[in-house]
Structure formats: C-alpha cells, structure tokens
Structure 1
C-alpha cells in the first residue's frame, strides 16, 4: 500500500467514527463484477430510488461474494481467482467511496462470505473445495489469516450466524444438508453437530438462506429443484422444523432446468423475494406474520441470469443484477402489497453477481 493510500485509509478510519449531524444521510450500493474484476459503487436516492454512479474500484481478480461488517464501515470482497483472497475496504460514510485496507488469503475459492455479529470473524463456504473456513478480523476491521477449515460434503454454498451468534449454519448443496456448528465467540472456533440441522430431499441443492427479523422463521432456497423452504426457528435452542415448501418457478417455466439463486426479506419481514436464473425472474411473496407461510404476489422479469440482488435498509427499493447482463435494474417495493415496479436500469460491469447496500443516517455514521 503506497503512502497516499495509507494517509487516505487513516482519514477514513477517523471519518468512520466522527460523522456528525452536519453530514447528510446517504445510502450506497456496491456491485461485484466477476468478469470485469471490479466493484461498481452507486449512491441511492431514497426519495425516488434512482442511482448515481460514484466510482468503479478495480479488485484485480474474479470478485464475487461480498459482506459488510456489522457497523457497516468495512466491506469485504472475496476473490475466486488465484490467489484466493479477501480484500478489506473502508467505506467512507461521507461519499460511499472505498479505500483498500488490506488483503488476506482465503482457504479456497469461496462462494459465500459473512461475519459474525461482533465483526471479529469472517466465515466462508467453498463450493469447489467442499469446506467451510474462518478468518480472524482485527480490531481495525481488516481480515487476517485463515484460522480454521472444516471439510463438508460436496459443494458447500452459504454460511451465516444465527441471530443470537451462538451457532453458525451452512448449506451444502451436494449433500442436501443444512449444517449447524457451535461458535465459540472467544476464539472463533466452530464445532459441527454430528447430524445436520435439517436434511432436504435428494437433489434439492440447498443454497442461500435468511432468518426473519423476529427470529421465528428461516427461509432456504434450493438451487436444483425450484423450491423454497419455510422453517420454524426455535431461537431458544437454535433448531428448526419444516412448515411449508413453495415453488420459485414462474407459471410458464416449461421443461427447463430450475436454477434457484438468491433470496432476501424486507427489513420489516413482510415480504420475501427470490431470484431464479433459468427464467431470469424475481418472485415476490407476502409473509404471514403468524405462521411464516408464503403467498405468492407475482413474478417479474429481470436482468439475465440473476445470481444476486438486495433490498435497501428502508425496505423501499430492490436492486438486481445478472451475470449475463451489464445493467442493474432498480425496483420500487410497494409497502402495502409487496409488488415491484421498475424504476430504471444502470450500467455495471461484466459478470455482475452480488449486491450489498449500506445506509448512513448522518447522525452517528450508520
């Protein structure tokens, strides 16, 4: 890192903790572009959902999964070309720009990364390496070396902590398993249960999952069979029981091969959205607050092969990208019905696959 970058990084470290009420609230979106090997940065106008380009940051490798630190002042980007690594960026709350703070090795090509609730550990899942891994994160928010690897069945795909940060869950596509691992928060060590937390039907291919804001439900999308699972989550024991299974496929899907991808809940937990890559669609569902069950609202065409999308912290806007598209589509979410309405398209790089969105309120930085 050159002297100019060091000075800039130090400035961001101070800015991240000294944003005052004099600054304006702002929302920023980050899109990783695997084939362009860069990250597109936008500012989101919360009054109308439009996007303004801020910068494009070269990463120098096949950048794919990203994760924000719990305080939203760091962005971590996983590189899936050799040398496998994670890049730690400082997020400037004043303009959304990124400053690279450091690189650290990843144990393999990682399809998914996330942090624990304290921001002390980075978890990752490797589709090709059939493993999970843990990296320590320093007090400055910069990821350090790998401290643990755990072998799994074939094609580990996602890893996240439970809301209480006592356990980590991971989906393993090739063994149709959703694993539970005990987290020792004092040292970041994971200990896997002898049996999966939830076993899925053969050739389901569990992929991404989310916990509801009220901690009562878990939603898990399959990659291979076009299904979405609703699980009751026992937050006392961190266990689940199946409630329902619905299709993510559009009514006119035909004889194609299902290819489920991503899912996200609105922050209030009222609506759930999923992406399906074969049909290049987003499906919208209304969540029953009592039972957690889903009622389909509609299906929306989106960017080609939509591997990733996300919802802004206000719950008003959804941003979607496609691996075979060089545009991002922005949608307005109707707060009463959950229906999507298109706002516009915005240029991104090639192989766009992941979206992270952060909001700073201008009072205390986030």
Structure 2
C-alpha cells in the first residue's frame, strides 16, 4: 500500500499538492492542488493477479470536468474484479476472481478498512468464497451480509459481516444445477450476479449457464438462504443472463443478457419474489456483425435511463425508460474509446459516467445530459492495468 505520507490533511480535507505518484501507470505524474474542487472518490478494481502488487486504485473525480486525479494504489488481494462498499464508507469488500486461493481450490473475498482522512485501504481479513472465480459481490440492504456469485463453479455464498467490518466464514451456499442453456458457453452453471431485493426479503442470483434468475428467501439476521420453489425468472434459451439491477421505484428491474446481447425490462412482484418480462431489446447498433457479449447494466439515479455495455462492439447503449410502464426506447450508442468495457458506473448525481476498458488498460469519462440521457466524451481518461470495476462514492474525506 502507498504510504499515507503522500497525503496531507488539513481540517479533515484531503489535499494533493503537486505530488508525483510514480506507481500509477508506471510513470511519474504531477498532480496539482485540487482540494475543494472534487466531489467524488473513485475506487477501481483490476485483474492484476499477484496479491503482492497494487490491485486497487484510488482517484478523485471532478463532476464538472470528468477529470480523474490519481491519489494512490493499494494491495487489495489478487484479481479484485468486483467491489462494494458499506453505506457508512467505512469498509470496502472485494472478490478475488481466482481458481486457487490461499493454496486451496476456489476464490476469495477480502474485507478492507477505509481510512476516513485519506480514503486509503488496509486489509482486515479474507475468507474463501466457497467457489471458483467469484465475479460479483454486493451487500444486503442491512449491510450485515455479503452476497457472492462464483462464476466457474456456478454457486453462490452469503458471508456475514461482523460488527468490526471483518467477514465471517460463509453462512450459506447454494449450487446451481442443470438444465443448462444451448449456447456453447452454457455447458455448466455460471453464477454471475447476486443481490438483495429492495425490501431485503429476497436475494436473487443471476446464472448465465442456466438462463435463470434464482430467488431465495434471505434471513438477514443469520445469513441463511431458502431457495424459492421455482425460478424467479427464466430468460430466453441461450440468452445468458449476466447482471440484474433494480429501478429506484422498486417495481421494475433490468437484466443484461451476455450471450445474445440484449437487455430485458422486468416487472417485479415484491410479494412473490418473481419477475415478469415486459420486453427485450438488442443492445447493439443496427447492422452490427461480429462477436459481442453484453456486460454491465445500470439505471440512472433519477430512474429515467438505462445504460448497458457491449464488449466486441465496444460501445455503451443508452435507453430511455417510459415512466408509465418501464419500457425502453433506444437513445444512443457511443464508443467506449477502448476495448472490452467490463464495467462502468455513474456518479451518485448522474452527471458523469466512467467506463473501464479491460483490454486497453484505460478508464474514460463522459458527461451525461440529464434531460436526454446522451453521453458526451469529456476527453479525460486514465491508464492503469486491466481495469475491471469502478466504484464512485461521495468524497467522505472532506
């Protein structure tokens, strides 16, 4: 981890004053004094395999310009390809998307403490994820449980969060089983997303291999799971559902399908814990030919737009949400200015979007037109090794 001596704190505000951060992007960079001009912090997880190297990077984001200023780089475990943070900004949790973890088969999960003055990370503890290649982590709505999806082994796990922020061993796991989809990449289960419902009564696991969203009753007090008797949703055969996100109103959800490059609008039944398809649209521009896989999906904070990412076309697709029924209308496709946009994020105000291009080693920013949802490149970017995940939070150091 970078030493905290690279920071100076005054009155609880983080100052970066002309310091050269030679560890970032492998070269020295002079960072001007910017205190007071930047409202957000950005944590970027990478696919760097060695836990002895810096694997999580920290930046300050200016929502006015889209500029990212480097603050530091830290050891966050091997391949921290997905991150999540608690509501109090005290702890960050990261998967290690590995096949072998601490000498044992499978992946792992790390709990890291956040310094309230510098925003830097310190490892608290690590636990096995009880499966191989964990690729998604979220906290339930109470913040008492970490929900983890293990891609290669096709199972999910719940790890309770202790009062001090450390992770306890898994309290519950569930293995997804056949039948699998018809696509060549569906020869086994591939859990790709695991998140709690808005009211925390249920948790939902999205599985690319089975074309299903599996629902569970979630006991937040114990971390136990009780699978529902039938799938919460079944996608079209070969769709390969990947990521699910809820609309702010809690009545709709949007499902990104990796293998057929579509997005499905869903009506959510909060009582039953099930979804009903509203419609499914392509995420690709008309006339596209070639290989593509859908990746990420997010709803704008104001609930007006859905954004998805395409790996192959290397684009972001923007859709407007009809306020009456949650249906989607295509607004725009825009280049991600790099290769393989694994993940992207909107800042909490919805003014800036950041996209992580895994195979071109860069992160680009865009301004968001909040009336139309359209994205405009800011011309600002940063370079770092294999960026995989972007977490944007208010600057709590001020």
Q: TM-score of the superposition, structure 2-length normalised? A: 0.82
Answer with 223-232 or 238-247: which moved more. 238-247
Q: State whether structure 2 residue 158 is matched by structure 1 residue 134.
A: yes
| CA distance, structure 1, for counterparts of residue 271 and residue 249 of structure 2 | 13
Superposed, 1:162-311 pairs within 5 Å as 162-254=197-289, 256-302=290-336, 303-311=338-346
Q: Relative CO higher for 1 or 2, CA cutoff 8 Å, sep ≥ 6?
A: 1
- Contact 1:26 1:44 (8 Å CA) reproduced: yes
Q: State whether structure 2 residue 336 is matched by structure 1 residue 336.
A: no
- Contact 2:89 2:396 (8 Å CA) reproduced: no
| CA distance, structure 2, for counterparts of residue 289 and residue 105 of structure 1 | 42
Q: State whether structure 2 residue 73 is matched by structure 1 residue 56.
A: yes
| CA distance, structure 2, for counterparts of residue 128 and residue 268 of structure 1 | 35
One of 45, 48, 72 as aligned partner of 1:35: 48
| CA distance, structure 2, for counterparts of residue 336 and residue 173 of structure 1 | 34
- Contact 1:213 1:268 (8 Å CA) reproduced: yes
Q: Which residue number in structure 2 is paired with residue 91 of structure 1?
A: 114
How far the C-alpha of 1:223 sits from its partner, in A, is 0.5
- Contact 2:191 2:206 (8 Å CA) reproduced: yes
Call closer, same or farther: CA 1:93–1:343 in 2, change over 3 Å: farther
| CA distance, structure 2, for counterparts of residue 185 and residue 58 of structure 1 | 30
| CA distance, structure 2, for counterparts of residue 111 and residue 348 of structure 1 | 22
| CA distance, structure 2, for counterparts of residue 160 and residue 333 of structure 1 | 26
- Contact 2:253 2:268 (8 Å CA) reproduced: yes
Deviations 1:61-80 (A, max 9, x none): 12211111133321111112
Answer with 238-247 or 177-186: which moved more. 238-247
Call closer, same or farther: CA 1:35–1:199 in 2, change over 3 Å: same
| CA distance, structure 2, for counterparts of residue 145 and residue 190 of structure 1 | 15
Q: Which residue number in structure 2 is paired with residue 12 of structure 1?
A: none
Structure 2, unaligned runs of 5 or more? 14-34, 102-106, 178-188
Deviations 1:105-133 (A, max 9, x none): 22122111111111111111111111111
| CA distance, structure 2, for counterparts of residue 316 and residue 236 of structure 1 | 34
| CA distance, structure 2, for counterparts of residue 348 and residue 138 of structure 1 | 35
Q: State whether structure 2 residue 343 is matched by structure 1 residue 320.
A: no
| CA distance, structure 2, for counterparts of residue 146 and residue 259 of structure 1 | 31
| CA distance, structure 1, for counterparts of residue 43 and residue 396 of structure 2 | 18
How far the C-alpha of 1:191 sits from its partner, in A, is 0.7
Answer with 340-349 or 108-117: which moved more. 340-349
- Contact 2:68 2:382 (8 Å CA) reproduced: no
The secondary structure found in structure 2 opposite 1:210 is strand
Answer with 266-275 or 58-67: which moved more. 58-67
The secondary structure found in structure 1 opposite 2:169 is strand
| CA distance, structure 2, for counterparts of residue 36 and residue 316 of structure 1 | 33
Q: TM-score of the superposition, structure 1-length normalised? A: 0.89
| CA distance, structure 1, for counterparts of residue 287 and residue 86 of structure 2 | 40
Q: Which residue number in structure 1 is paired with residue 170 of structure 2?
A: 146
How far the C-alpha of 1:93 sits from its partner, in A, is 4.0
- After TM superposition, the runs of 4+ consecutive aligned structure 1 residues lying more than 3 A away are 23-26, 92-95
Aligned residues: CA RMSD: 2.3
Structure 1, unaligned runs of 5 or more? 9-14
How far the C-alpha of 1:237 sits from its partner, in A, is 3.5
Answer with 295-304 or 142-151: which moved more. 142-151
| CA distance, structure 2, for counterparts of residue 100 and residue 27 of structure 1 | 22
| CA distance, structure 2, for counterparts of residue 209 and residue 347 of structure 1 | 28
How far the C-alpha of 1:155 sits from its partner, in A, is 0.7
